[in-house]
Structure 1
Amino acid sequence: MYYPNELAHFKITNFKHPDGLLIFKDQPTTTAPEILAKKQVEKRLAQRLLKFCQHTIHGVNHIWEPRTKPAVRIFWCLVVTTALIGCIILYNTVTQRHREGILVTVVESSHLPIHTIRFPAVAVCPLNHVNWMRYHAAETRFLPRYSAKEAKTAFYNLVILLERMTFTRLNHVEEFLKIKKVPRSVRNIELSEVAKFMSLRCDEIFSWCVFDKTQMDCCKIFVPEYTGRGECMVFNSVISKESRIKKVLIKEEDEWSDTLFHILQKNTHNSLMVTPRISETSRNTRHIDPAKRKCLFPDEKSSKYDQIEGLGFHKINCMVRCEQKYLIDACNCSLSMFFPELPGQSNMECKVSDLRCIHDHWDIFNYLKEPLQDEYINDTRRGMICDCLRGCESLLYLVELNVIPLPNANDSLPQITAEVYFARNTLTKYASRLQYTYFDMISNFGGIMALFLGASVLSIVEIGYGIVRELIIFSLYKLFGRRKRRRIRIVKSRNEASEEKIKTTKDYVVK
């Protein structure tokens, strides 16, 4: 029989390829042993993964096991997903609490021995700072030899002004400024120099001193020091050079001056009972910003908060330096009888001619505002705004004063006796620390993992170990497979070259 459809229809074409007909290259065929080895590796990996999930990740084995029904797999997928989401949410909550840096204050000890702290620095400041017995000597020192009566009168009024003058008590400045004409010889006098020369000396204040049941020379343990209340005689302080040399064992020893003071009347015996209280912030909070921590460590440096050079950070020191800056900004001068000296700026001392500027800004110097006060209180008064944090290590002295009159008192020779002592042999120590530390975060995270995933640190190690192991096995499999294919390709190319060479030789022989 003849089937014309089975014959190929002849078609004339003019197609001619320059290289002849296109021929596909021979592809390396995968042998049966290679396919079998690949399937064995895949099966082995699946078995390891299933075994790993059964022993390490709870619930995943129900999803991975081949014989599990689809409904069961969906159920366990939802369970595992919910557990993971809950774990992530609680972990974010714990880390957020740690980032907030919440501080809690607790009573670390209510019976800390009193000998663990320093004895406070005691400052004795005369209410009247001028010793009038040196007035004529002061005239000779600060006025020219042949001074006019106007100069002597102005200098006398200046000494009256300095008698009870403090930085926040400038009431008598206005009376001095009522003088119509102040001679130039008086206008150029530095206020602090006159105050220091006219101040009372140690032997003019004290008669006898007893420390720790031992009678001592008062002028060896009390040294002159300039505070916010003028020149005072201070015991157990490290502010002045003399006190730094002695450094005997009442404010803290490295504080400039304290706002807490008691006025002692004549012919009285005064018992000052001191109750110390320590407040410390844990050192593990140093990584927190001081504004958030709300305190500054004594050895911590900060450009935002003022400090006195050579002294540790205290809130009082910061306030003093802030007040000094306001005075310098307003009048371009400073008063070393109230504030610390400025290194390298000895020509910044306020003179009598600067009293007009000081008086014009008296309302600012006399009123201290809080940093955020204007946002909450409608107060139009001018004042000093000093942003000063408390110290992270502070020692506060609470003082109770008991006064009794002296028997057989002589009004012509008035006396004042004072006794300073600790109220108890123990004190209370408060400690501020982080509510959530790194250890708390780790322990909480471990509890979350155990609750939601049934995992632990060992589980994490096992997961990491399993991933690294499988990656190594997979890499080695790929590496050896690539080398094996390369060897097969080299052998095949060599065979093809040999066959080509043999074919060429045969053609040559035939010719």
Structure 2
Amino acid sequence: MKFPTVAICEVNTKNELGEDVEAYVTSLGKGIREEYNFDVEAHISFILFPSQYTHGTIKARCLRYEDCDNCAKCPKTGYRKLVETFGANCTEIFEQCWLAGKEFDCCQYFLPLYTPYGTCFMLNSLQNNHPGSQHWMSLELDRSQKPELQVVTSRSIQVSLLNEEDIPNTALKGISLVIQEGQDRALHFHSELMANDVDVRDIPIEARNCRFPDETLPWSLYHAYSFSTCISDCTRIFQEEVCKCNSYLLNPYADARFVDCGLAGYSCLEASSMIIPDVKKVMRFNSSRLQCSCLPSCAEGDIRTVYESVLRFNPKGQEANITLVMPVWPTDQYRRQVLRSRLDGVVSIGGILGLFLGASILSGIEFIYYFTLRAANTALMARRAQQLKQT
């Protein structure tokens, strides 16, 4: 069996951002009546942990301080730089990792990626990795190995189980679990893979109603196609059409062609309910450049939650421990096959001709040959014979 892709995203469950963020907010100024501006700190928390956004908070936390000269104000620009400065890196989050009881280097295989959920560390994702690289881990297990992945972190996290081409997306419901510091949790899941026949690629995309991961859309910013990345791309285009900028999270590789939103841009997105939009709204959106029509991935399998539990909880604990287990080995596999290939069509045509006309495709070829190549060859030979007689 093959263990699915895993995404680890940091979450803020204690509303604590650290001394460096507090020093930064203090350097910006004060509150209206307080020495410390907690509203600006909350706005920076939204920048670092966008999944915890609540509609209306940007206006409530930031606009009230615009006319106050001595007050700390929400940063106007440079949100991507703030995440790079104050966001946690891999070594600050991960402590230990095991797969099938064998320990491995977490930061060699969990690679960072900007996603709609925030900064996540992805294990074997086609969006920031590829098979054969030094960071691609073999997740193929045999029956002598226990299908279990255990991760210990020093911060609260959200764990998501994904297909290789997918990303965590706040607009889509997926298999995920939040583990707070001091918790030891287990998630039991079941996974069934998808296998595609070779002939499936010969079928037009409109007919097979899915796209392979390497069939990326021309306007996509992601390295592989999936339904979740298509929704992210459509959201980015929607934001750009409405507010002339987009969230830095939807531009994961910092493509210079697209402008990251600042405070004014996020205020516009909030007024249009486009920071965490409804999927149906995004799917109905028709841009002047394209129509958003997202198909599923041809390679996506089915991952389902079986059981989740809290094994242990220590309120004073400093570690978060998650164990991902597949309790039963998969016995089924989805298969997408072509019922009638091009060769089948040729065979069917030949059979119909043979049944109703007593002929086959070969007979048709012979018919064409008899009245074209053979007729021309016969005429040419007759002309040569006539010339020989005259000489």
Of 335, 346, 361 in structure 1, the residue corresponding to residue 272 of structure 2 is 361
Of 416, 430, 433 in structure 1, the residue corresponding to residue 334 of structure 2 is 430
Q: Which moved more, 1:118-127 or 1:445-454?
A: 118-127
> Residues of 1 paired with 2:377 and 2:260: CA distance?
77
> Residues of 2 paired with 1:179 and 1:148: CA distance?
13
> Residues of 2 paired with 1:449 and 1:295: CA distance?
34
| Secondary structure in 2 matching 1:448 | helix
User: 1:196 deviation in Å?
Assistant: 4.3
Q: Counterparts in 2 of 1:34-433, with a 5 A limit?
A: 114=1, 117=2, 119-128=4-13, 131-139=17-25, 143=27, 147=29, 149=31, 153=37, 155-159=40-44, 161-162=46-47, 165-166=50-51, 169-177=54-62, 179-181=64-66, 186-202=74-90, 205-237=93-125, 239-240=127-128, 246-249=135-138, 250-258=161-169, 259=172, 260=174, 261-264=176-179, 268-300=183-215, 302-303=217-218, 306-309=219-222, 311-337=223-249, 339-345=251-257, 348-362=259-273, 365-369=276-280, 386-406=292-312, 409-413=313-317, 416-426=320-330, 428-433=332-337
| Secondary structure in 2 matching 1:391 | coil
Higher helix share: 1
> Residues of 2 paired with 1:440 and 1:469: CA distance?
30
What is the identity, as a one-letter code, of the residue corresponding to 1:273?
A: H
User: 1:125 deviation in Å?
Assistant: 3.2
Would you say the 8 A contact 2:196–2:336 is kept in 1?
yes
In structure 1, list runs of 5 or more residues that go unmatched. Answer: 1-113, 375-383, 488-511
| Secondary structure in 1 matching 2:80 | helix
Would you say the 8 A contact 1:223–1:242 is kept in 2?
no
> Residues of 2 paired with 1:469 and 1:160: CA distance?
82
**Per-residue deviation, residues 216-254 of structure 1 (Å, max 9, x unmatched):** 454554444322211234434454589975233342344
> Residues of 1 paired with 2:75 and 2:4: CA distance?
43
What is the identity, as a one-letter code, of the residue corresponding to 2:5?
A: P
When Rg is computed on C-alpha atoms for both structures, the one with the higher figure is 1
Would you say the 8 A contact 1:121–1:251 is kept in 2?
yes
User: 1:419 deviation in Å?
Assistant: 1.0
> Residues of 1 paired with 2:254 and 2:342: CA distance?
43
Change (3 A) 1:180 1:155: closer
User: 1:132 deviation in Å?
Assistant: 3.1
Are 1:443 and 2:353 an aligned pair? no
Change (3 A) 1:134 1:234: farther
Would you say the 8 A contact 2:74–2:263 is kept in 1?
yes
Would you say the 8 A contact 2:200–2:336 is kept in 1?
no
User: 1:302 deviation in Å?
Assistant: 4.2
**Per-residue deviation, residues 391-447 of structure 1 (Å, max 9, x unmatched):** 2322443333320442xx432326543211334444533333333222212222222
> Residues of 2 paired with 1:293 and 1:264: CA distance?
39
**Per-residue deviation, residues 20-60 of structure 1 (Å, max 9, x unmatched):** xxxxxxxxxxxxxxxxxxxxxxxxxxxxxxxxxxxxxxxxx
Aligned residues: 352
In structure 2, list runs of 5 or more residues that go unmatched. Answer: 139-160
User: 1:148 deviation in Å?
Assistant: 5.5
Q: TM-score, with normalisation over the residues of structure 1?
A: 0.57
Would you say the 8 A contact 1:196–1:337 is kept in 2?
no
Would you say the 8 A contact 2:183–2:319 is kept in 1?
yes
> Residues of 2 paired with 1:410 and 1:302: CA distance?
47
Identity of aligned residues (%): 17
User: 1:123 deviation in Å?
Assistant: 1.9
Change (3 A) 1:216 1:190: same
> Residues of 2 paired with 1:440 and 1:199: CA distance?
57
User: 1:459 deviation in Å?
Assistant: 4.5
What is the identity, as a one-letter code, of the residue corresponding to 2:212?
A: F
Would you say the 8 A contact 1:331–1:354 is kept in 2?
yes
Would you say the 8 A contact 2:76–2:264 is kept in 1?
yes
> Residues of 1 paired with 2:105 and 2:387: CA distance?
96
Q: TM-score, with normalisation over the residues of structure 2?
A: 0.71
| Secondary structure in 2 matching 1:122 | strand
User: 1:286 deviation in Å?
Assistant: 4.1
What is the identity, as a one-letter code, of the residue corresponding to 1:308?
A: L
What is the identity, as a one-letter code, of the residue corresponding to 1:393?
A: A
> Residues of 1 paired with 2:228 and 2:66: CA distance?
39
Change (3 A) 1:130 1:312: farther
Would you say the 8 A contact 1:138–1:197 is kept in 2?
no
> Residues of 2 paired with 1:399 and 1:178: CA distance?
42
Would you say the 8 A contact 1:227–1:337 is kept in 2?
yes
Q: CA RMSD in A?
A: 4.1
> Residues of 1 paired with 2:361 and 2:266: CA distance?
72
What is the identity, as a one-letter code, of the residue corresponding to 2:267?
A: R
What is the identity, as a one-letter code, of the residue corresponding to 2:41?
A: Y
